[in-house]
Each structure stands twice: as structure tokens, then as C-alpha cells.
Amino acid sequence: MTVEIIYFVHGTTTDNEANRATGHAPGKLSELGIQQAKDLGDKIEEEFDALYCSDLQRALKSANLAFGDQCNIRTDERLRECDYGEMTRNEFTWGLKNYKETPYPGGESYEEVEERISDFLDYLVENHEGEKVALLSHQAPQLALEVLTKNKTWEEAIETDWREAGEWQPGWKYKVENKK
């Protein structure tokens, strides 16, 4: 049995517009981000059995604007963005590949994000086997899903990230299979 996942990203933030890394800081949706979240809810026709969201403000607000009246939104801190530590709120000019194994100063590495997401996927299989689950989160958790479910390396996940090509879509699909 499997768990089907449809993955959504939060709306654009004021930090995104200023090319700053928000990390674990709350972040604030910009006017564009608010409209994106509202529009997302209108574009989704698929039904899902559960919705999990990062507990960071920008993701939770996006989830509420898009889906708040349609389902119970459950937050989970494992879906948080990468902790950029001392680089939080700084201009986003560094290469993601530099922090695959090495944590950001005072923060975490992408492999640590992968561990969090792997743990969360185990939880989904245990609690939602055979169901379709929506996730609303951030860039690093989505890249970790690419690594964990599509057998990509971190380098491949980063190089093929839709954000680089500006190829947003209203949801990405993943499947997690029961390992037992």
C-alpha cells in the first residue's frame, strides 16, 4: 500500500521578494503571496483525506487562505523550512549545494532536513496508508521529497528545482510506499 501526496508551497513572502532567506523566522506573506494562496484554493479540484502544514506562519496562513474552510489543517514542525541559522534573513546568495552535509552556521544541513522528512513520511505510512494526503510547506522539505521518493541526489534535486526555472504549478505528486 502507498500514501499519495500532493505537495503545495506557501505563497510568496516579503523576504522572497527581497531575495532573503527566511528559514525558521515567521516570514510574512506579501500581497502577491496572499493572492497566490487564495488562487491556489480555487485551482485545486482534487480531494484529499488529510492536510498537513508546516507550523511556520507563512505556510499556515497560506494553508488557511487556500483550504481553511474545506478541511482540518494539522501542523507539524518536521515540515519546517531548513534552519539557516546565522544566515536567516540575509540575502540569499549562497549555493544550496554547499550545505548538503555541512550545517548552516548555527543551523542545519539539507541532510538533516531529509531526516526530518523521512521521519514524517514514516508517520504518514503508519497513519494514512492507502490515503491521499496534502502537504503545504517550503523549498527544502520539497527537495527532500525529491530525494526520498524519486531517488534523486541532493545535487539533482537542487538543479531540477522548479523554482530555478520558474515552473510553479498547483501541486506536485509523490508516492510513499510502506517499507514493510
Residues designated as active site: 10, 81
Residue 125, all three cell numbers: 505510512
Q: What are the backbone angles phi and psi of residue 106, rounded to the nearest 5°? A: 75, 10
Q: In what order do the strands lie in the sheet with 50-53?
A: 73-75, 50-53, 132-137, 2-9, 172-177
E strand map for the chain: 2-9, 50-53, 73-75, 132-137, 172-177
CB 108 within 8 A of CB 85: yes
State which H helix or E strand residue 150 sits in.
helix 139-150
Residue-wise DSSP of 113-137:
HHHHHHHHHHHHHHHHTTSEEEEEE
Helix, coil or strand: residue 19? coil
DSSP state of 101: S
